[in-house]
Amino acid sequence: MPKITFIGAGSVVFAKNLIGDILQFPELADSTICLMDIDSQRLKVAEVMAKKMVACLNGNARIEATLDQRKAIQGADYVICTIQVGGYKPGTVIDFEIPKKYGVRQTIADTLGVGGVFRALRTIPVINSIARNIADVGNPGCLLLNYTNPMAMNCWAVAREVGIPHVGLCHSVQGTSQQLASFLNLPYKDITYKVAGINHMAFFMEFKYKGQDAYPLLFKLLDNPDFNQEKVRFEMMRRLGYFVTESSEHQSEYSPYFIHHGKKLIERFDIPLDEYIRRCESIIGTWEKAEADLLGGEGKISISPQSHEYGSFIIHSKETNTPRVIYGNVPNTNLITNLPVGSCVEVPCLVDAMGVQPTVFGSLPPQLAAMCQTNINVQSLTVEAALTKKREHIYHAVMLDPHTSSVLTLDKIWEMCDELISAHQKHGLLSSFHPTIKNTGRTVPASGIILASLHSTSAIRQGDTGKKEMLLKVENESSAAFSGTLNFKTQPGVKATESSLNFKVAAGKTFQKKMAFNLIAPLEQESVITITCPNNGVFCRKGFLSPRSVYDFSKQPASFELKLGGIPAVIGEYSILGSSLTFDFSVFDSDITPVKIAPWTGSCVELFFDNKEKSNVIQLFCVPDPKGKMPHVLKRDLSRIESAKIRQSSIAGGYRMQVQLPLSVVSDRKENSILFNSIFNLTALGDAHSGGRVELNVRQGLDENSRHYSELIWKD
């Protein structure tokens, strides 16, 4: 007789039903039932309960109980998994409460959504450990019957990492078929159906009464004002054409169409937010009474008739070679041809002495395959995160969740995931994951990132000589301390006071040091400083000594030309006229859109001025008019500068702006110079380009004080 092991036997109500189902088959009455749980008290209750059931049924089954998972699995023919990793507290509470802080409301949170993702992350390592024990010490061909959610993710992970015989079992297909029959007042014995899809999002492709299509009767219910059952599922049937297998509370959180649209819609569709929390608390609140019922008084215990759960039927069919059809969650080996191979699908399966044999369904209607794919995206990335320990895939899974992505921005998704990971790890529910590059969805390389770079700390003018300082930074984003040597190579005219430097930087820290470089010849153009490191794993970025451009208006106007994507974008000229600065811009932007609130989002010219090394930046906007009649110059607060004079005219492919700006608007006149930059915002460039931004002073290596400014010089 077979050995049937229950992992998670502390789920005693569910275990009671399954044990009762098994022992009511005469052919299985002599089985060995081995119970295993991590909760010794719950396990004791389950053991006493099971022994009373055997006595009540006058069977010869042998009941064993152990806290040792491997011992429980040793010699097993069937392993039934009913675990809940993390339990109600802290696991489920974390899954609900942290997302709620961010505005993500859930109903059940055990299959998809952010709750389903984190339930899977803490469950997959445990269920894969069970699967490996089955492979190691279970009887040959031992079959894993998994009842633990999230079903598809757990089964997908088992198939991918361990590959033992397994099937995921749910009662939504048989339960929903009974519901639909009752909605239509049809005898269930005369109902036949065909279902396919993924767990909790499989669809009734056929629903027949005595061989006739009963779907027209279901669609008539949509127009019945007195019918108010399963509102979300019937709404989805209205839109997709087929009825889905899992409850309305589940369906409302698998898509973006319901919860986040507000209270009125939630009330219209009777969506019970935080439903699983209420169910858990109700079960906990009645546990003492349930325990008394499970143990039975005076040796008596009630045993219900066989349920519709597939577990006992699979074991009976395999042991007795009795053919049956069940709906199982299995790897997609082209069973559903328009869903990804390797994903976990729910299809009809033949069960006999050969085991669970999935049948080929073919293609789902395209709209149903697309709905399933939105959930499969999340499933696949969650499994990837669990198996590879790559933290970024946690973010990716949640950002692709249909419900969460309808509520949160990407930065909030990242923030919420970080908080959830931290909370899980605090309670020992998640191990460590490979770190990501800060605020990104990319894993730090295995060796970590060691980045050495030089940064300007003071402005340099054309023709400067003498000592200049730069800041050396060595950033260590690896998980271990790092030491090494950096070598510096300069170009002619520049000499480093230190040609090499030894450094040591702790894990997660940054080493900083000011480095001196002597300009032994006037610096007229950008000079490159090359950094090298003989140590492997150090990324060295060049440093640049970059002089500011100096435009002397007292001699002649300063001209420039800028390109966008290799195409001429702006031709301009700066000059001085008396006590005013003058700007003449020809901007090749064929789309001038009026923008009242934020001019920088449309076509405009941004001007930046600074008297004292960026201590008081003045930002102005030269905004063209679509009709060419009323261009204007605005301050940062969007008030007009009435003293500015501005003219606009049309040119081929764009517009020309001539601006006369009093020096008093931008300069304190203490010196005959000012720092200056301009950015040109283009909404279109000809017919083949979609616009962009071009900046006057963008040159390789410019950063810190010297990055954004040229210097304008004039004489009074």
pLDDT in tens, 138-191: 999 999 999 999 999 999 999 999 999 999 999 999 999 999 999 999 999 999
Q: pLDDT at residue 33 above 70?
A: yes
Distance separating alpha carbons of residues 505 and 348, to the nearest angstrom: 59
Q: pLDDT at residue 446 above 70?
A: no
- Quote the pLDDT of residue 589: 87
Q: How many CB atoms lie within 10 A of CB 137?
A: 15
- Quote the pLDDT of residue 111: 97
Distance separating alpha carbons of residues 343 and 361, to the nearest angstrom: 15
- Quote the pLDDT of residue 636: 86
- Residue 445, classed as helix, strand or coil, is coil
- Quote the pLDDT of residue 702: 39
Q: pLDDT at residue 693 above 80?
A: yes
Q: pLDDT at residue 296 above 70?
A: yes
> Given pLDDT bands bounded at 50, 70 and 90, which one contains residue 706?
very low
As a dihedral over the C-alpha atoms of residue 41, residue 42, residue 47, residue 52, rounded to 10 degrees, the angle is 110
Q: Which of 171, 455, 632, 689 is an active site residue?
A: 171
How far is residue 544 CA from its own chain's centroid? 38
HSE-CB for 229 with a 13 A CA cutoff: 11
Nearest to 394 by CA among 440, 429, 428, 427: 440
- Quote the pLDDT of residue 69: 98
- Quote the pLDDT of residue 707: 46
For 514-543, letters b (16+ CB in 10 Å) and e give ebebebeeebeeebebebebeeeebebeeb
Q: Name which of 188-202, 423-437, 531-545 the model is least confident about.
A: 531-545
CATH topology of domain 550-713: Immunoglobulin-like (2.60.40)
- Quote the pLDDT of residue 708: 54
Average pLDDT over residues 589-613: 78
HSE-CB for 360 with a 13 A CA cutoff: 6
Q: Percent of the chain, pLDDT > 70?
A: 95
Residue 260 annotated as catalytic: no
Report the CATH superfamily, name and number, of domain 3-172+280-322: AglA-like glucosidase (3.90.1820.10)
Q: List pLDDT tens digits, range 649-659.
A: 999 889 999 99
Q: pLDDT at residue 578 above 90?
A: no
How far is residue 163 CA from its own chain's centroid? 27
The class (CATH top level) of 450-545 is mainly beta
Q: Judge if 450-545 and 550-713 fold alike in CATH terms.
A: yes
Distance separating alpha carbons of residues 269 and 257, to the nearest angstrom: 11
> Given pLDDT bands bounded at 50, 70 and 90, which one contains residue 704?
very low
> Given pLDDT bands bounded at 50, 70 and 90, which one contains residue 361?
very high
How far is residue 571 CA from its own chain's centroid? 45
Strand partners, 244: 203
Distance separating alpha carbons of residues 706 and 675, to the nearest angstrom: 10
- Quote the pLDDT of residue 597: 67
- Residue 231, classed as helix, strand or coil, is helix
Choose between 534 and 127: higher pLDDT. Answer: 127
Q: pLDDT at residue 128 above 90?
A: yes
Per the CB < 8 A criterion, the answer to whether 357 and 331 are in contact is no
Distance separating alpha carbons of residues 712 and 716, to the nearest angstrom: 13
> Given pLDDT bands bounded at 50, 70 and 90, which one contains residue 234?
very high
List all residues 6 or more positions away from 202 whose beta carbon is below 8 Å from its beta carbon.
172, 173, 195, 196, 244, 245, 327, 346
Domain ranges of the chain: 3-172+280-322, 450-545, 550-713
Q: pLDDT at residue 524 above 50?
A: yes
Highest mean pLDDT out of 284-298, 387-401, 529-543, 591-605: 387-401
Largest CA distance in the chain: 113
For 615-638, letters b (16+ CB in 10 Å) and e give eeeebbbbbbeeeeeebbbbeeee
- Quote the pLDDT of residue 700: 41
Q: Name which of 269-273, 406-410, 625-629 the model is least confident about.
A: 625-629
